[in-house]
Amino acid sequence: MNNKKKYLSTPYVFWAVSFIIIPLCMIFYYGLTDKTGAFTLENIGAMLSPEHSKALLLSLGLSFLSTVICLLLAYPLAMILHGMNVNQHSFIVFIFILPMWMNFLLRTLAWQTLLEKTGVINSVLAFLHLPALNIINTPSAIVLGMVYNFLPFMVLPIYNVLGKIDINVINAARDLGANGIQTFFKIIFPLSLPGVISGITMVFVPALTTFVISNLLGGSKILLIGNVIEQEFTQASNWHLGSGLSIVLMVFIVINMILSSIFDKDGEGSML
């Protein structure tokens, strides 16, 4: 029976090869050739040019920052949600998935309205006699947009992995004399690492490669590496250069994936 079942995956294997594997090979083909089709490393080396390396460094910096902020915001949140003992796991997921039903571009754009000089946030701040926030069209606004868009990807894996920790393991630590803080650092945090790592991957990769958030909230002056690549494909039509830069980007993604597979062998930190 199992032998027969194996063939059931044929359509999917066919699909995966056609639409996952081959397309990736195409990127490598374009990235490693020039317009005449000759082999070259120029497209990859182009990342070292001042303009591209600046964009890459900025992307790395902003995505690192937003990943850290997401983690700092999400961990306590996941702990609180877990501690509320809501039996309805699906309800928690629902609350974080729900915003996705409002278009992501519109939601991100809405921050422009909220952040404007005379926008809602500054009105509230003025009312509280606090200094105004002028971050629109700055890297700070981009970080805010990243945190806003990707926070659920950090919360859900951590929340899920916390739910999987055997309550008796925590009880055992208390029983052996550990106080709340010791229990957290010696037991809960180490056991939640798969979720944390998975969350970091899910936030870092899209933040590193985004071109939409920087476009919408950073004005047109701030270029991230995603913007550069997007422009090579849609405006400059230099696919070879765009592919070459993508290959460099993928190096970071692969490092990230390897790290996450080391720490999360059993896929415990999944989002669903």
Partner 1 sequence: MKEKLIDLVGITKSYGDNIVLDDLNLYIRENEFLTLLGPSGCGKTTTLRIIGGFETPDKGAVLSNGRDITKLPPNKRQLNTVFQKYALFPHMNIAENIAFGLKIKNKSKSYINDKIKYALKLVNLDGFEKRMPDSLSGGQQQRIAIARAIVNEPKVLLLDEPLGALDLKLRQDMQYELIRLKNELGITFIYVTHDQEEALTMSDTIVVMNQGYIQQIGSPESIYNEPENAFVADFIGDSNIIPSTMIRDELVNILGVQFACVDKGFGTNKPVDVVIRPEDVELVAPENGTLEGTVTHLIFKGVHYEMEVSAGGFEWLVHSTLMHPVGEKVGIRVDPFNIQIMNKPASEDEEAIGIDEQ
Partner 2 sequence: MKLLKRFYIILIFIFLYAPIAALMVLSFNESKTRSKWGGFTWKWYLSLMDDSIIKQALKNTLLLALLSALIATLIGTVAAISIHSMKRRSRNILLGITNIPMLNAEIVTGISLMLLFITLNMRLGFTTVLLSHITFNIPYVILSVMPRLKQLNPNTYEAALDLGASPLYAFFKVIFPDILPGVCSGFLMAFTMSLDDFIITHFTKGPGFDTLSTKIYTQVRKGIKPEMYALSTIIFVTVLILLLLVNFTTNRINPADDKRQKKQTAET
Q: Distance between CA atoms of 249 and 226, rounded to whole angstroms?
A: 9
- Within residues 115-174, the interface with partner 1 by CB under 8 A covers 166, 168-169, 171-174
Pick from 10, 175, 235, 272: which binds partner 1 (CB under 8 A)? 175
Longest dimension (CA), the chain: 72
User: How far is the C-alpha of 134 from the C-alpha of 157, rounded, in Å?
Assistant: 33
Q: Which residues of 204-242 are buried (b: 16+ CB within 10 A; e: fewer)?
A: bbbbbbbbbbbbbbbeeebbbbbbbbbebeeeeebbbbb
Q: Does 263 bind partner 1 (CB under 8 A)?
A: no
| Residue 183 beta carbon to partner 1: minimum distance, rounded to whole angstroms | 8
What is the DSSP track for 25-64?
A: HHHHHHHTB-TTS-B-SHHHHGGGSHHHHHHHHHHHHHHH
By beta-carbon proximity to partner 1, the closer residue of 173 and 249 is: 173
Contact call for residue 184 and partner 1 (CB under 8 A): no
Q: CB neighbours of 257 closer than 8 A, spacing ≥ 6?
A: 201
> Which is closer to partner 1, CB of 38 or CB of 176?
176
Helix, strand, coil fractions of the chain, as percent rounded to 5? 75, 0, 25
> Amino acid letter at 91?
F
By a kind-dependent CB cut-off of 5 to 8 A, residue 175 interacts, out of partner 2, partner 1, none, with partner 1
Residue 270 contacts which entry, partner 2, partner 1, none (Cβ below 5-8 A, type-dependent): partner 2
- Whichever of 99 and 180 has its CB closer to partner 1, that residue is 180
Shorter beta-carbon distance to partner 2: residue 114 or 191: 114
Residue span binding partner 1 (CB under 8 A) among the ranges 32-40, 107-115, 176-184, 255-263: 176-184
Contact 112, 217 (CB under 8 A): yes
Q: Which is nearer to partner 2, 192 or 230 (CB)?
A: 230
Is residue 85 near partner 1 by the rule CB under 8 A? no
Q: Give residue 22's Cα distance to chain centre.
A: 25
Decide which of partner 1, partner 2, none touches 22; Cβ closer than 5 to 8 Å per partner kind. partner 2
* E strand or H helix at 256: helix 239-263
Question: Looking at beta carbons only, is 99 or 190 nearer to partner 2?
Answer: 99
The residue within the footprint of partner 1, chosen from 190, 237, 254, 261 (CB under 8 A), is 190
Asked if 61 interacts with partner 1 (CB under 8 A), we say no
Binding site for partner 1 (CB under 8 A): 166, 168-169, 171-179, 182, 186-187, 190-191
